[in-house]
Amino acid sequence: MVNSLLAPTPQKYPPIDADSSIVIVGQQVLGFHFSRMVENEAGTILGEDIEALHDMRVATRRMRTAANLFREDFNPNAFQIIRKGLRKTGKRLGRVRDLDVLLENAQILYESQPQNGKYLEPIIEHWLNERQPVRRRMLVYLESEKYRSFKDHFHGFLNATEAQIQRRNDNPAARQKAPGWIHDHLENVRSYQQVLTNPSLRDLHTLRIAFKGLRYTIEFFYEILGQEVYSCIELLKTIQDHLGEINDARVALERLDAILEPGNLRNDLHAAAAQYQAQQQDQLANLIERFPATWNQFAGSEFEQNLNRALSSLSKF
């Protein structure tokens, strides 16, 4: 069952077959997102549009989730280099992307308050200066032999036969494996219910990662699920966005704490950081206060009912 009419754009999700072996499906999922990574490489290196780096990093994150999901089905000798390369690439991209988010959020606030936002100028300048060497290190990596070797190995993996990359001979079909994997991720997310009465920032950070795992796993199998899957993904996006804003505020506060450490001699930067810190603390408190309402959209029975209806289509294959 193909949901292409429901997908916002063509080829948004990996084109897979429910009766294909899980090894072939894993290869197709990884190949789909590998192509997205490579497509955004030139734009990331050019650096004129931060969305290219964002999209490239998202592709590596999806591949890391897929690599963790399918790892038991692949020959570890064929897969170890790929997993290591994804970790390395993700870290290099992530360090620049984290600063891009900090700068983007500060710039939005600055531009929304033409007069009152001027205090942010020293912080924006400080983070721009901090970004330069981090971006240079990313570019060195993306132009390195190590990165080229990683991509060459990945190409070899994607062109290999099932027999060459499988761990065992009796590979189940995608329709047999998908429901269990999705329900495992669902249970992992639901286990956070007990800590959400008074969650720590660490709890919310790990919950965000858990939601990503659930959403990405569902999306890997989007093309073979029932039409209810679209509403499930949209809700997961909403929750992930809320948790993402919380995480952005948390990271900003950590960076501001570093600026405010004793020994910083720039009074203008110190004063700006203190003012922005107060703004971010208020924003973080507001986001955390509103999160239970967002969580309740997921915690009710409707989400799980829609998900089960989407999964029920697999029994028709």
pLDDT digits (tens, 9 = 90+) for 140-175: 999 999 999 999 999 999 999 999 999 988 899 999
pLDDT recorded at residue 7 = 43
- Domain locations in the chain as residue ranges: 20-166, 173-317
CATH of 20-166, one of 1.40.20.10, 1.10.150.110, 1.10.10.10, 1.20.1440.230: 1.40.20.10
- Domain 20-166 and domain 173-317, same fold? Reply is yes
Give this prediction's pTM.
0.92
pLDDT recorded at residue 316 = 65
pLDDT recorded at residue 54 = 97
Q: Which CATH superfamily is domain 173-317 in?
A: CHAD domain (1.40.20.10)
pLDDT recorded at residue 264 = 65
Structure tokens at 315: 């029994």
pLDDT recorded at residue 10 = 52
pLDDT recorded at residue 11 = 75
**What residue ranges of the chain have pLDDT lower than 50?**
1-2, 4-9
